[in-house]
Amino acid sequence: MNLDFSPEDAAFREEVRAFIAENYPKDLRAKQDSGEPLAKDDYLAWHKVLAKKGWVAPSWPKEFGGTDWTPTQKYIWSEEQARADTIAVLPFGVSMLAPVIYTFGTEEQKKQFLPGIYNGEVWWCQGYSEPGAGSDLASLKTRAERVKGDDGKEYSIVNGQKTWTTLGQFADWGFFLVKTDPDVKPQAGISFLLIDMKSPGIEVRPIITLEGGHEVNDVFLDNVKVPVENRIFHENQGWTCAKALLAHERSGIAGVARSKRGLERLREMAGTEQSDLGGPLLSDTFFKRKLAELEIDLTALEFTELRTLAGESSGKGPGPESSILKIKGTEIQQRLQELALEAAGHYGAPFLRDLGHNANIGPDYAQGVAGEYFNGRKTSIYGGSNEIQRNIIAKMVLGL
């Protein structure tokens, strides 16, 4: 037992750290620092740099563009990105769809779709949740029916509504779960379709969230015509694809490196803000205690993640401890946001976005905290709510 990184791993860390420092887009950094909302091209700027370098999709198999890094190297990579406060590569194409395509897709589908995902040329969005299908995803109602077109080819005609489609306003294509057989048990009648978002009959409507942001959308599908070759895997077996996707990309789900950065920022804030008891908030008996407990909790999560990683490195696959990562990771992120809002005091309140103001009121560090707090409530809800995660642990790990 030891915590030492091998000389090779230490050299790797130096290499990626230097690469980020030299190649992270300067315009993007400036926008992040000023808190300006990101445009479509901004989201893709870092992605494109990484695609050129060959580092956009470390987890993919080598033949499709993966890096063949060890779990430890992937961990270092995510740590260094967090340390440098880079934006994350959007997960929809790279982390969510691509594994489904290279696992279940045909050769033609792999050739058609993987390069566009890799290079950031095609923006993907996810069409899973529906107004009536959240945690109970399999109860989705969006229907797809097979018809023969005038051209003699087979099509699916899709009707229904999807919701919570993140950044769907920018999407070129979407991957959708649709019901293709309503007469069998829910999981058995679902198919996985790729749909061109420019197809006639698709409408994307913004959902404005509490902090005033436009991140998620409703997607309406009205007689949308989808060529049958855009279905991944067999008809009525889309649930298999969706489940595989849920199991993918466990590493990084805990967000330890990002939370460590968040904790550093919180400590800086608390070093400046004044306590009612006099002196910095960081010396306030009560606030300090909350910070210490959070820091300790994050250390425990970090080592639980490292144990998972060590298990993967030795080829054992993720053990029971890995199922904890989403629950504890999101609890810690939300606690950080909570304490940042507390620390900001009065200046957590000003909210200028509605009036279109750019001027800042109060200290810089207080600008984003309320927005992050309100927006951050999503993390324990999405990706399988934390209650669903507990059901999974109860069933799969404790055998209940």
Partner 1 sequence: MDFSFTDEQSMLRDTVASYLADHYAFDARRAAIKSEAGWRPEVWKAFAEELGILGAPFSEELGGLGGGPVDNMVVMEEFGKALVVEPYMGTVVIGGGFLKHSGHGAAPDLIEKIIAGDAIFAFAYAEPQARYTWQDLKTTATKDGTGYVINGQKAVVIGAPWATHLIVTARTGGGQRDAQGVSVFLVDKNAKGVTTRDYPTVDGQRASEVTFENVSVGVDALIGAEGNGLPLVEKVMDEAIAATCAEACGVLRRLQEGTVEYTRTRKQFGVPISSFQVLQHRMVEMFIQLEQSISMTYMATIRLSEEAQARAQAVSAAKVQIGKACRFVGQNAVQLHGGMAITDEMAIGHYFKRATMIEGVFGSTDHHLARYEALSFGKAA
Beta carbon of residue 218, minimum distance to partner 1 (angstroms, whole number): 31
Minimal distance, residue 70 CB to partner 1, in Å: 11
Q: Which of 4, 150, 151, 276 binds partner 1 (CB under 8 A)?
A: 4
Among 247, 355, 359, 400, binds partner 1 (CB under 8 A): 400
Closer Cβ to partner 1, 289 or 357, answer by number:
289
**99, 231 Cβ separation under 8 angstroms:** no
Site for partner 1 in 54-113 (CB under 8 A): 72
- Contact characters 324-363, partner 1, x per CB under 8 A: x--xx-----------------------------------
Footprint of partner 1 on residues 183-242 (CB under 8 A)?
A: none
Q: Are 310 and 338 in contact (CB under 8 A)?
A: no
Q: 93, 96, 141, 89: which is closest to 113 by C-alpha?
A: 93
SS3 292: helix
| Distance in angstroms (rounded) separating the CA atoms of residues 269 and 345 | 11
Q: Which residues contact 110 (CB under 8 A, 6 or more apart)?
A: 64, 101, 102
Please list, in sequence order, all residues whose beta carbon lies within 8 angstroms of the beta carbon of residue 37, skipping any fewer than 6 positions away: 213
Closest contact distance (angstroms) between CB of 265 and partner 1 is 15
Read off φ and ψ for residue 161, nearest 5 degrees. -135, 130
Least gap, CB of 57 to partner 1 (angstroms): 24
- Of the pair 226, 324, the CB lying nearest partner 1 is at 324
Stretch 262-321 residues interacting with partner 1 (CB under 8 A) = 280, 282-283, 288-289, 291-293, 295-297, 299-304, 306-307, 309-310, 314, 320-321
- The nearer residue to partner 1, 167 or 256, going by C-beta atoms, is 256
Q: How many residues bind partner 1 (CB under 8 A)?
A: 42
**Using the rule CB under 8 A, which residue among 247, 355, 359, 398 binds partner 1?**
398
CA atoms within 13 A on the CB side of 72: 16
Q: Smallest distance from the beta carbon of 160 to partner 1, in angstroms? A: 30
Residue (184 or 300) nearer to partner 1, CB: 300
The answer to whether the CB of 159 falls within 8 A of the CB of 204 is no
Can you spell out the DSSP letters for 321-359? Answer: GGGGHHHHHHHHHHHHHHHHHHHHGGGG----GGGT---
Radius of gyration of the chain (CA): 22
Q: Which stretch binds partner 1 (CB under 8 A): 48-56, 170-178, 180-188, 387-395?
A: 387-395
Helix (H, G, I), strand (E, B) or coil at 240: helix
Query: Closer to partner 1 at the Cβ: 41 or 293?
Result: 293
Residue 52 within binding range of partner 1, rule CB under 8 A = no
**Quick one: which segment of 53-61, 172-180, 338-346, 390-398 binds partner 1 (CB under 8 A)?**
390-398
- Is residue 125 within a helix (H) or strand (E), and if so which, with residue range? strand 124-127
Would you call 218 exposed, middle or buried from its count of C-beta atoms within 10 A (0-12, 13-18, 19+)?
middle
Minimum CB distance to partner 1, residue 82 (Å) = 18
Nearest residue (CB) to partner 1, 39 versus 292: 292
Nearer Cβ to partner 1 (238/252): 252
In terms of CB distance, is 92 or 287 closer to partner 1?
Answer: 287
Four-CA torsion 282, 288, 291, 296, nearest 10 degrees: 130
Q: How far apart are CA 260 and CA 120, in angstroms?
A: 29
Contact set with partner 1 (CB under 8 A): 1-5, 72, 280, 282-283, 288-289, 291-293, 295-297, 299-304, 306-307, 309-310, 314, 320-321, 324, 327-328, 387, 390-391, 393-394, 397-400
